[in-house]
Each structure stands twice: as structure tokens, then as C-alpha cells.
């Protein structure tokens, strides 16, 4: 259960920046970088802005001992104030 109205960013007001998202929520526009990682088998990144800020998102393939891609690691870093 995720409460509907919580001041997650502690700015004193409820706004779009406090919007709840569920695990696995797909951010529009980020799929292309993930697919590029799958197709090319190499690390990729993208910069996006949404209601939560500006982010650099990185994606790296993870391989098993036989060289088969088995997963992708994704990391987001907030660069809104940099």
C-alpha cells in the first residue's frame, strides 16, 4: 500500500513532484536507451527531465560466465542542482 498524498520531497506542499509511482513504472522516453543497451550490448546513458527533476540515467549490460547478456543494470542520478 502506498499512501496517495504524502509530501515525499518534504517541501511543505503536495504537488506533481510527490506523485506516487509503482515498482516497475516505465518513464516515457527511457525505453530507447534501454533497448540500445540490449541491441548493442554496451553501456548507454540518457538525460531526461520530468516532474521530479533532471536525471542522468545509465544502463549497463550484465553478462553470465558464457558471455550471454542476462540483465541490465539501470541507475538514475539527480542532476537538477548541478
How would DSSP label each residue in 4-60? SS--TT-SSS--GGG----TTPPPTT-HHHHHHHHHH-S-EEEEEEETTEEEEEEEE
Contact between residue 37 and residue 58 where contact means Cβ atoms under 8 Å apart: no
pLDDT digits (tens, 9 = 90+) for 6-43: 766 667 777 776 666 666 777 666 667 778 888 888 99
Higher per-residue pLDDT: 30 or 58: 58
Amino acid at each position: 500500500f502506498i499512501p496517495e498524498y504524502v509530501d515525499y520531497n518534504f517541501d511543505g506542499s503536495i504537488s506533481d513532484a510527490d506523485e506516487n509511482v509503482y515498482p516497475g513504472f516505465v518513464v516515457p522516453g527511457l525505453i530507447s536507451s534501454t533497448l540500445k543497451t540490449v541491441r548493442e550490448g554496451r553501456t548507454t546513458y540518457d538525460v531526461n527531465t520530468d516532474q521530479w527533476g533532471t536525471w542522468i540515467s545509465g544502463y549497463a549490460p550484465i553478462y553470465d560466465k558464457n558471455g550471454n547478456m542476462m540483465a541490465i543494470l539501470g541507475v538514475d542520478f539527480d542532476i537538477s542542482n548541478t
